[in-house]
Copies of this chain bind each other. A is one copy, B any other.
Amino acid sequence: MEPKAAALARGTRDFGPAQMRRRQFVFGIITEAFRRYGYGPLETPAMEQLATLTGKYGDEGDKLIFHILNSGNFAEGIEEGVWMHQRSNPKGLVPLISEKALRYDLTVPLARFVAMNHSKIAWPFKRYQIQPVWRADRPQKGRFREFVQCDADIVGQEISTFHRAELLRIYQEVLEALGFHSFAVKVNDRRLLALLAAWGGISGRWAALGIQLDKLDKQGWDKVGPELVQLGMRSEAVEHLQAALPASGRDGFVMSWEDYRTAVSRWMQDPNCIDDAGLREQTELALDETQQMVEAYERLGSNPSKLTFDPCLARGIDYYTGPVVEVVSPALGLGSLGGGGYYSGLTAMFGYPDWKGMGISFGAERILEGMEQLGLFREEVGRGLDILCYATSPGMELVAQQWTARWRGQGLAADWYAGTGKFKKAYQYAQLTETVALVILGDREWAQGEVTVHWIQGDHQRKVQPEQIDAAFLGSALKQA
């Protein structure tokens, strides 16, 4: 067999040890927060029945689903005529030769799981899920065909404002634990978007409004303003909105809850709104619930609130029906670090229309990128080996192996570098594996009860008794012996 040039499939990545340790750290912090807040782990299979996924993500989404070819002689049973006819019609052909597809997100699998297990699970069902998803997007910088999603959702008959607030609080806790300082948790409510539409003179057209507002981030008011006027929004309303939000959506730090509530009350007085009893009721409900959610949010943490309000935040308008949330860190310029919201009807697709839910998602890949950019990974995060033992002579190899075993027994990550006379290579190995201490065992020092420790990070050496190394590692901090 000819050796093949090794290559990855387009749009996919390997994560070697150094990257993986950083990823594990971030996922660990997120998992830990989910756990403390009472969210349990869920994993669903990579392959779902095609019928479970099709039609859930819109036409554009359907095109991005990866299909798995049926096994065996999969085309044999298809009539010749059909086989010919469907050749250039993927929509007709795919279901003939594929009955499974790869997970596209974690939300539809959640809905399927809940529908399948509704009689056995604890209600409200609080689950987190951290798994890869696959999308046949055109690969480009920062966009991959396989990437990890990182979701927490609560699903039930009713979702208390306490539990809505806790999801917002998790954002704050996780991002602070990761070392981010400059970020905002932006909140809005789909029902207040309906009010905004009515106030702007385009009653009922909140969906179209939402689509335009979603573009604010990238295109700014210069582009979106005229589009809103085109949509039928009063130009004074557009100007007023822009004035109320001088910092464009992109900057994120937009309004306190008090200011937003005041603005909403003012909008409500508009003739377009005040006469619409349904709108009035929905607005009052949204205000009450948001008020309660804000209060619960404040009770949930002792550190200052990162909660802000953005009346132009729309997010997935055909999906969310209540509060929506997005986390931004304008300084990073990476787009949102996460988002979510309240939904109803998600499980309707599987025959259970009554369940509501609220979920949040961490943009793990962007968070990782942001942490690299800001240098937020502390040295310990990447640490591979604690100790690498190197013997300067064959006679010291046995001792080096014994001390390696001893340190492993104490819970340290330790290894012995095979072979003597290769100090430079051992040193390189220590560097590449992000080793903390290279321990050098030489005959002469050993006869005096000593070894040489080379601390890789500071690049300095000293002679110590080997037991002192235990103390350096097992002490409260990583003191350097």
Residues of A near any B CB (own CB < 8 A): 1, 3-9, 12-18, 20-21, 23-24, 35-38, 40-49, 51-52, 55, 63-64, 66-69, 71-76, 78, 80, 83-84, 87-88, 90, 93-94, 97-100, 102, 111-113, 115-117, 121-124, 126-127, 132, 134, 136, 145-146, 158, 160, 162-163, 296, 299-302, 348-352, 384-385, 388, 398, 401-402, 405, 408-409, 411-416, 418-419, 428-429, 432-433
Among A163, A415, A416, A428, chain B packs the most CB atoms within 10 A around the CB of A415
Smallest CB separation, A106 vs chain B (Å): 12
Say whether A83 contacts B72, CB under 8 Å. Answer: no
Smallest CB separation, A319 vs chain B (Å): 14
Smallest CB separation, A399 vs chain B (Å): 11
- Measured in the bound complex, the distance between the Cα atoms of B23 and A84 in whole Å is 48
Query: Which of the residues B14, B38, B388, B413 comes within 8 Å of A43, measured between beta carbons?
Result: B14
Say whether B12 contacts A45, CB under 8 Å. Answer: yes
Query: Which of the residues B35, B40, B83 comes within 8 Å of A83, measured between beta carbons?
Result: B83
Q: A7-B112, A16-B117 are in contact. List 7 more A-B contacts (CB 8 A).
A: A3-B348, A13-B45, A38-B413, A64-B71, A83-B87, A299-B401, A301-B405
Q: List 25 A-B contacts (CB under 8 A).
A: A4-B51, A6-B52, A6-B112, A9-B45, A9-B47, A16-B113, A17-B127, A23-B43, A36-B411, A38-B433, A40-B384, A45-B146, A66-B69, A67-B69, A68-B68, A71-B136, A80-B84, A84-B84, A126-B415, A158-B418, A162-B416, A296-B401, A299-B401, A299-B405, A300-B405
Residues of B within 8 A of A36 (CB): 408, 411-414
Say whether A52 contacts B162, CB under 8 Å. Answer: no
Query: Which of the residues B66, B88, B111, B432 comes within 8 Å of A122, measured between beta carbons?
Result: B432
Say whether A134 contacts B46, CB under 8 Å. Answer: yes
Say whether A49 contacts B9, CB under 8 Å. Answer: yes
Smallest CB separation, A285 vs chain B (Å): 18
Residues of B within 8 A of A116 (CB): 6-8, 14
Say whether A3 contacts B301, CB under 8 Å. Answer: no
Smallest CB separation, A3 vs chain B (Å): 4
Given A37-B408, A43-B14, A433-B40; A1-B55 close (CB under 8 Å)? yes
Given A136-B71, A433-B38; A14-B418 close (CB under 8 Å)? no
Q: Which residue of B lies closest to A98 (CB)?
A: B69
Residues of B within 8 A of A384 (CB): 38, 40
Residues of B within 8 A of A64 (CB): 71
Smallest CB separation, A278 vs chain B (Å): 26
Say whether B16 contacts A121, CB under 8 Å. Answer: yes
- Measured in the bound complex, the distance between the Cα atoms of B44 and A132 in whole Å is 11
Say whether A43 contacts B20, CB under 8 Å. Answer: yes
Query: Which of the residues B5, B9, B301, B402 comes within 8 Å of A351, measured between beta carbons?
Result: B5
Residues of B within 8 A of A413 (CB): 35-38
Residues of B within 8 A of A63 (CB): 71-72
- Measured in the bound complex, the distance between the Cα atoms of B5 and A163 in whole Å is 29
- Measured in the bound complex, the distance between the Cα atoms of B72 and A93 in whole Å is 11
Smallest CB separation, A304 vs chain B (Å): 15
Say whether B300 contacts A6, CB under 8 Å. Answer: no
Say whether B21 contacts A40, CB under 8 Å. Answer: yes
Given A20-B43, A38-B415, A76-B88; A7-B52 close (CB under 8 Å)? yes
- Measured in the bound complex, the distance between the Cα atoms of B429 and A201 in whole Å is 47
Say whether B12 contacts A47, CB under 8 Å. Answer: yes
Residues of B within 8 A of A432 (CB): 121-122
Q: Which residue of B lies closest to A15 (CB)?
A: B43
Residues of B within 8 A of A414 (CB): 36, 38
Residues of B within 8 A of A112 (CB): 6-8
Residues of B within 8 A of A55 (CB): 1
Say whether A49 contacts B8, CB under 8 Å. Answer: yes
Say whether B5 contacts A45, CB under 8 Å. Answer: no
Query: Which of the residues B98, B299, B408, B433 comes within 8 Å of A402, measured between beta carbons?
Result: B299
- Measured in the bound complex, the distance between the Cα atoms of B17 and A134 in whole Å is 23
Residues of B within 8 A of A46 (CB): 12, 46, 102, 132, 134, 146
Q: Which residue of B lies closest to A160 (CB)?
A: B418
Among A8, A111, A348, A409, chain B packs the most CB atoms within 10 A around the CB of A8
